[in-house]
Amino acid sequence: MKPEPFDRRYLSETEGMRPLLSGVILLLMILLAALTPTEAARIKDIAAVKGVRPNQLVGYGLVVGLNGTGDNNKTEFTIQSLVNMLERMNVHVDQNDVKVKNVAAVIVTANLPPFSRIGNKIDVLVSSIGDAKSLVGGTLLLTPLNGVDRQVYALAQGPVSVGGFGAEGTTGSAVTQNHLLAAKIPGGATVEKEIAFALDGRQELTLTLLQPDFTTAVRVSDAINQAMGGALASALDSGTLEVKVPGSFHGNIPGFLARIESLTVTPDSVARIVVNEKTGTVVMGENVRISTVAVAHGNLSISIQEAFDVSQPEPLARGETVVTPRTEIQIKEQNNELMVVPGGSTIGDLVRALNAIGVTPRDLISIFQSIKAAGALQAELEII
């Protein structure tokens, strides 16, 4: 059956209909993607070497040089931190005399990439933890960044970049652009300590899949064995593969990893439909299948209008003028034909059939739930 043409009246709906239109566009994009052949992915994009990962760093610091937009005087930890810093610089001050409107206490976070060496630069994120109004124009003072073992792995310092602005009038009115209490310092930290991880001398490597799946794990191992000409890789479970390093690569592990991570594999996935009821978004995977099912969907609308009529007696007649209520009830039901979707239909067939009976993304939610309850949906239905 040919789908009905798109009704342009939807474009004039209220702002509340935007999530529904976004859902329709998303479904069309998914449909177009489903009609194209599945693209293979590189092993480096779906798997990682066990142990080769970034490490999170965190530190506490002060941002100075603010134009009166720092923490309030009631933020005691900012005052204490400022006094302690001045004491270490042999500047003795009374804590009661310190004003911190130009200073803000912040938490500094960063990711230490694998194989980072001493002297490398990494980006840091600076976030206010007090009641500062803005970090625009501030400079982060020297801040040690610690790992989970409380060891210092990097030192951060430099001018912060907010990427926004704010202005406030004397009457309390204010205008802001973007978020002013979180900033970045590109290359703002210097690595001071390395995390030991050696590849040289290893005879075996472990690969972990980012999305565990038995079929994908077997395909990855088959691709490695075929490319290297031997039984080097084996799947231990749905997310782990053990790879033996050939003798010719014992002194060149990076070269071996570069060889296998460029291999392409078509990953597999579980058939799943993800529904977001808050936004009316429906996302369906290409492996979704349904059994033979008949679908009918119609909207029932009831309109009740109350009116009041004035009843007056005839001239010279004995009677009183009274007001009588009048109620009008109208019932409209959309007449949609029963749509039969044959068994084994793909996502494209399903979407075309549902579009033919004029359903919206929010209607799809209830329809999929009903098909799942009837046992005809061969996929997981996940509601977020």
Give per-residue pLDDT as tens, 24-49. 555 555 544 444 445 688 999 999 99
Rg (CA), the chain: 33
Q: Are strands 380-383 and 293-295 parallel, antiparallel or unpaired?
A: unpaired
**What's the pLDDT at 216?**
93
Separation CA 112–CA 131 (nearest Å): 29
Phi, psi of 72 (to 5 degrees): -75, 160
| Tens-digit pLDDT profile for residues 81-130 | 988 998 888 888 888 888 888 999 999 999 999 999 999 999 999 999 99
**What's the pLDDT at 14?**
41
Separation CA 123–CA 118 (nearest Å): 15
**What's the pLDDT at 179?**
78
Supply the pTM of this predicted model: 0.66
Q: Which residues of 302-340 are buried (b: 16+ CB within 10 A; e: fewer)?
A: eeeeeeeeeeeeeeeeeeeeeeeeeeeeeeeeeeeeebe
Tokens at residue 332, please? 């409209």
Give the residue ranges of the chain where pLDDT is below 50: 1-17, 21, 31-37, 300-302
Tracing tokens 């993800």 back to the chain, one arrives at 274
Q: DSSP per residue over 74-131, as a string? A: T-HHHHHHHHHHHHHTT----GGG---TT-EEEEEEEEE-TT--TT-EEEEEEEE-SS
Separation CA 8–CA 329 (nearest Å): 30
| Tens-digit pLDDT profile for residues 345-374 | 666 676 676 666 666 767 777 778 887 888
Strands of 132-181, DSSP E:
139-146, 152-159, 165-168, 174-177
Q: Which residues of 210-249 are buried (b: 16+ CB within 10 A; e: fewer)?
A: eeebeebbbbbbebbeeebeeebbebeeebbbebebeeee
**What's the pLDDT at 166?**
60
Structural contact between residues 376 and 353, judged by C-beta atoms closer than 8 angstroms: no
Separation CA 224–CA 196 (nearest Å): 28
The secondary structure of the chain in percent helix, strand, coil, rounded to multiples of 5, reads 25, 35, 40
**What's the pLDDT at 367?**
78
Separation CA 373–CA 293 (nearest Å): 12
User: Domain limits of the chain?
Assistant: 1-39+267-297+329-384, 41-51+199-265, 55-166+175-191
Separation CA 17–CA 280 (nearest Å): 10
Task: Please report, in angstroms and rounded to a whole number, the separation of the first and last CA atoms in the chain.
Answer: 32
Structural contact between residues 233 and 243, judged by C-beta atoms closer than 8 angstroms: yes
